[in-house]
Structure 1
Amino acid sequence: MEQAILQAAAEELRESGYAGMTMDKVARRAATNKNTIYRRWPHRAALGVAAYRHLAKTKTPVPDTGTLRGDALELLRQANKTWSSPQGTILRDLLAATSDEPQLLNLLRDLAGDTSMDTAWLTLLSRAVARGEAPPEAVHPRVASLPMTLLRAEYALRGRPEVQDEILTELVDEVFLPLVRGRAR
């Protein structure tokens, strides 16, 4: 039943967006009742984030091109592809709704904390250290989170439906790599 509810909620998010997703619609689509949903998810925000997590459960493969620059560009391109997809539209829709629903923001923060993306960036940095491309000090959570923070800013602050490859290259070449290389003390 849980999988049916998550699938129904994910379909509602795709079709109606977070604003249009109601517990009634999800219950009808999942062929259950609202009480069954509320036993698992106390409110719409919790169900919305759980449905997004259900959609996004695939792990991001960590590229290994042989260079930090190549790996960083490939990982940003993968993230950009996800953020510009229907799944990314759902996440952006959830983020936009946080101003009206504070509990949604807290749930999304929790979701961001259990993502494999930071681990992928830390892996790239560790490989770069092993190859002699970066100092050991570069393997730091703040450094690892910067490329994704910059990509999210392109979507959120600039309202882009997709970030152009030239911008991804600029983020890597002009911000990320200089930061990584400058971490030596």
Structure 2
Amino acid sequence: MTEAKTRRRGELLEEAILEATWAELAEVGYTALTIEAVAKRAGTSKPVIYRRWQSRAHLVVAAWARQRPAESVTPDLGSLRADLVWLFTRLADRTAGMMSETIAGVMAEAFKHPEVQELLRERMDSAPLTHTVRQIVDSAVAREELPPVVLPRLAARLPLDLVRAEAVFCGAPVPEELVEAMVDEIYLPLLKGLALNRPPHKEPDGPPQGGPP
């Protein structure tokens, strides 16, 4: 008896679609990528893809997210600068493997579609990067390299923005000397400035209880 072919569903089907998307990106780039070609490569149909991802940009962002390596433990290298150089170098290495034309295409699409802008913002704000940056800053505070710092959302996201912009506009991989310049000339001064501009400690109003008027 001939064995019936198993129909892919759920995660198996989505994995096949995302793998096909990334393969298409590697072959033709973002501009020439079509949902039809992805569907053909994945052995499925355009309606199946559109039920899961509402646009080409949404699909590419999902495929891009799937390519990110598993997050490793954030090292404590003994100094804020060393930890930041590690982080920026890791971002540069990752970006070099993500095809700058693809990144540029997704960003161009985002400028055209507000809903994609929101999707990218949500992904960046919830990405492990912001947690890693805060871990690095907290370690520096614990070593008393910095006073306690309230890290704004945009500041936590800035390492990725800096590395990505350089990769898109000037080409990847980002050279080591430029990685160190981003740390020394931009991000370290930013963190120190945020520490200096902390809101002053507010004394309680009125005299202490039981004290003189």
TM bin, normalised by shorter chain, reads 0.7 to 0.9
**CA spacing shift, 1:139–1:36, aligned 2, 3 Å:** closer
Q: Evaluate the alpha carbon distance shift between residue 91 and residue 111 of structure 1 in structure 2; reply closer, same or farther with a 3 A threshold.
A: farther
Pairing 1:75–2:84 present: no
**Alignment match of 1:23 (pick from 27, 30, 35):** 35
Correspondence 1:148 to 2:177: no
Report what 2:186 is aligned to: 175
Among 56, 77, 84, the residue aligned to 1:65 = 77
Question: CA 1:86–1:76 in structure 2 vs 1: closer, same or farther (change >3 Å)?
Answer: same
Aligned-partner SS, 1:126: helix
Which of residues 155, 162, 165 in structure 1 aligns to 2:173? 162
Question: What is the rounded CA distance, in whole Å, between the counterparts of 1:35 and 1:179 in structure 2?
Answer: 47
Matching of residue 7 in structure 1 with residue 19 in structure 2:
yes
Relative distance call for 1:140 and 1:47 in structure 2 (3 A) is closer
CA shift digits 1:73-109 (9 cap, x unpaired): 0110000011111455533332244345554333322
Aligned equivalent of 1:91, options 103, 113, 118:
103
Is the helix fraction higher in 1 or 2?
1
Unaligned residue ranges in structure 1 (runs of 5+): none
Distance 1:60 1:91 in 2: 23
* Letter in structure 1 aligned against 2:118: N
**Does structure 2 conserve the Cα–Cα contact (< 8 Å) formed by 1:60 and 1:117?**
no
Q: Tell me, what secondary structure is at the counterpart of 2:17?
A: helix
TM-score (norm: length of structure 2): 0.76
**Mapped partners of 1:10, 1:135: distance in 2:** 43
SS in 2 for 1:136: coil
Aligned length: 184
1 CA distance for matches of 2:134 and 2:41?
A: 40
- 5+ residue gaps in structure 2? 1-12, 199-213
Q: Give 2:9's aligned residue.
A: none
Q: Does 1:115 align with 2:132?
A: no
Normalising by structure 1, we get a TM-score of 0.86
Q: Percent identity?
A: 35
When Rg is computed on C-alpha atoms for both structures, the one with the higher figure is 2
